[in-house]
Every structure is written in C-alpha cells, then in structure tokens.
Amino acid sequence: MTDRLVDANRTYASDFTDPGMDARPVLHVAVVACMDARLDLHKALGLQLGDCHTIRNAGGVVTDDVIRSLTISQRKLGTRSIVLIHHTGCGLEALTEDFRTELEMEVGQRPAWAVESFRDVDQDVRQSMQRVRTSPFLQHTDDVRGFVFDVRTGLLREIDPA
C-alpha cells in the first residue's frame, strides 16, 4: 500500500510547482478535526492549499498535543481563529477507557494517554471548545467555534458553546 502512495507522489511531483508560500495560513485559521477518512476537510470547507493549519487525531480531541500545535500556530504563525470539527458516527462513541486495559493486558504496558471516548458528540464539542478557551497558552480565544460534520449529508451543524 505504501508503494502505491509513493507512486502517486511521483505523479504529483511531476507537475508540482512551488507555490511560493510560507507556513503562515492565508486565512489565519486553524482547524482541529477527527482523523476519520470520510472527512475531506479542504473540500468540505472550500479551502485551498495554504489557507489553514489542519490538526487531526482520533475524535478531533483537544489534547495537550493539540494545544501545543495551536499555540505554535497562533504565537509563531499568525492564526487567530480556531474551528473544531467532530462528526456523526465517530468510532470513539463505541470505545471506552476499557480499551486502555485491553492494551495493557495484551502488551504489558498501560498507555499514558486517555482514550477520550464520548457518548454525546455535541457535548464533546462543547468540552473541546472549553479546553481551547481556557488554555493559558493560547492568545486568541475569542473566535473559537465548534461543529459536527454529518457524514451522510456533508453538512456542518454549529454547536452552541453554552
């Protein structure tokens, strides 16, 4: 499978032209989203190369590492807005913290990280917004918005932070 990706890159690179951009996103926005393969964020949000920073992980969870990336994005690369995107039918809804115990039983070591599973996607988006808004490391927390992407319709539904 990796060879297929490397071959695709050769094709891509054969027509590639340096766009002359730097690492600062044109729209001054960072998007935090789930890694789910059904989310084509650039198409779904009408974004072009260079428009935003994209940070993805299982569940779109605002972890310490996401805060690290957002802090660098804001303080060194000029972003001011943060968009959080979770989605319907997320695999984290079916997991529990028991997953960590299963891993410990299998490999002999308990992961240091939390699974961050959830049952209510709207509430999880609210929690993510709260984590971002209360981080002492982020300078710009006045434009933090959270959404749920519907994997069946492609539409975003905004979540009220209250």
Measured between alpha carbons, how far is 90 from 19 in angstroms, rounded to an integer? 35
Give residues with Cβ within 8 angstroms of 43, minimum separation 6. none
* Side-chain half-sphere CA neighbours of 124 within 13 A: 23
pTM: 0.93
CA-based nearest residue to 90, from 132, 145, 35, 137: 35
pLDDT band with cut points at 50, 70 and 90 for residue 97: confident
| Distance separating alpha carbons of residues 11 and 8, to the nearest angstrom | 5
In total, the chain counts a number of residues equal to: 162
Query: Is it the case that residue 93 has pLDDT exceeding 90?
Result: yes
C-alpha distances in angstroms, 69 versus 28, 32, 56, 96, 146?
14, 10, 11, 26, 18
**Mean pLDDT value of segment 105-133:** 96
Would you state the pLDDT for residue 19? 86
Q: Note the pLDDT tens digit of each residue in 10-68.
A: 999 999 998 888 899 999 999 999 999 999 999 999 999 999 999 999 999 999 999 99
- Report whether 91 contacts 58 (CB < 8 A): yes
Question: What is the Cα–Cα distance from 97 to 71, expressed in whole angstroms?
Answer: 28
